[in-house]
Amino acid sequence: MPTVLALETSCDESAAAVVHLADGHYSVLASCIASQVEEHARWGGVVPEIASRRHVEALPGLIHQALLDSGQDWDQLDAVAATVAPGLAGALMVASVTGRTLAALHGRPFVGVHHLEGHLASVQLADGCQSPPYVVLLVSGGHTELIRVEVDGSMHRLGRSHDDAAGEAFDKVARLLGLGYPGGPAIQKAALDGDSSSFSLPKGRISLPGGGFHPYDFSFSGLKTAMLRTVERLREQHDALPIADLAASFEQVVADVLVERSLRCVLDEGLNQLVLVGGVAANRRLRRCMQAGAEAQGVAVSIAPLGFCTDNAAMIGAAAVTRLQRGPVVSSLEMGVSARWPLEQSTDLYASPPPF
């Protein structure tokens, strides 16, 4: 059964993990993460050059610690995995080059992993996870997508955001309200004592060319603009901003949109299983609303564990061992990285010659 050392440096989290799969059970033998959130918070968002430098500094120590924590040595590892797409190109290079170098030095296969496939695999780290087919709502800082996962592991995108991802909207609204970065945790904290019905906010929809609206796609730009106009109006009235109510109203409408369209997608697909993953999946209101809505519709929900919602290497390891379990896979040691690469083409990461 495969045991993999996995590396993740696609954005602003440096991470190393050791993951083992046996008899269908995923075990995280070690998971080490170095966050850069406080450093990037000074700039209100991720600075790519700073992120790359910090990855170079942090990753060697994280790998050493992960191997110590797991109790594994190189004789017990079957492969080295690393995120190779999508993400910040300079940041991706750190894990990719490190992973390929270690694989070559120790004579182990290298497995390049698509970052979104890692997020999809993160739910496998939860107890009692469902088996495909199911629909996944992947909701993070850079992505809001509905993806159908089949029994054979193939993935088909059914819905997406046409502008900001939900996580981006959280960041921008948090900045508007003066709540800091990252926006998701800041808004969640501010909303705790707020009234989510205080402000009526729009649920963005995407028009279809022939009329009507796309049932599964998302748009958060209109919501973001509505928040801006609301704040401007309150300031013109010289009122103190009701931060808690604004935060709660925004958080609620985002949760409502995600829940409603996800459940509609699942039922239209003739399925009764829904998976929730990604950084925004850590939001308590969203988790609560999704579970309540799914129960009312007779849909079973699996949610990635809180510790594996945001970027981490354990999810990359889970994706790699799943690939290895299905059959021999190996990525070329000549593979580079890609800032943008479609999830539907993730199998190309194991082609020779490599796609990039």
Residue 356 lies in a domain: no
Write the DSSP string, 207-242.
B-TTSSB-SS-B--HHHHHHHHHHHHHHHHTTPPP-
CA 216 to chain centre: 19
pLDDT at 45: 86
Q: 128 or 201, which is more confident? A: 201
The continuous run of DSSP H or E covering 324 comes out as helix 313-326
Mean pLDDT (whole number) for 162-167: 93
Provide the residue range defining the domain that includes 56. Answer: 3-121+311-350
CA 10 to chain centre: 11
- Asked whether residue 239 carries a pLDDT value surpassing 80, the answer given is no
Q: Are residues 254 and 287 in the same domain?
A: yes
In the sheet that holds 300-303, the strands lie side by side as 155-160, 144-149, 134-139, 273-277, 300-303
Q: Into how many domains does the chain fold?
A: 2
The string of pLDDT tens digits covering residues 288-315 is: 999 999 999 999 999 999 999 999 999 9
pLDDT at 72: 97
pLDDT at 41: 83
Mean pLDDT (whole number) for 125-151: 93
Give the CATH number, domain containing residue 233.
3.30.420.40
- Percent of the chain whose pLDDT exceeds 90: 91
pLDDT at 139: 97
Residue 80 lies in a domain: yes
Q: Are residues 153 and 267 in the same domain?
A: yes
CB-CB contact of 115 with 277 (8 Å): no
Q: Are residues 315 and 285 in the same domain?
A: no
Q: Are residues 294 and 322 in the same domain?
A: no
Q: Are residues 87 and 25 in the same domain?
A: yes
The string of pLDDT tens digits covering residues 27-78 is: 999 999 999 988 888 888 899 999 999 999 999 999 999 999 999 999 999 9
Residue 60 lies in a domain: yes
How many CA atoms does the CB half-sphere of 165 hold within 13 Å?
18
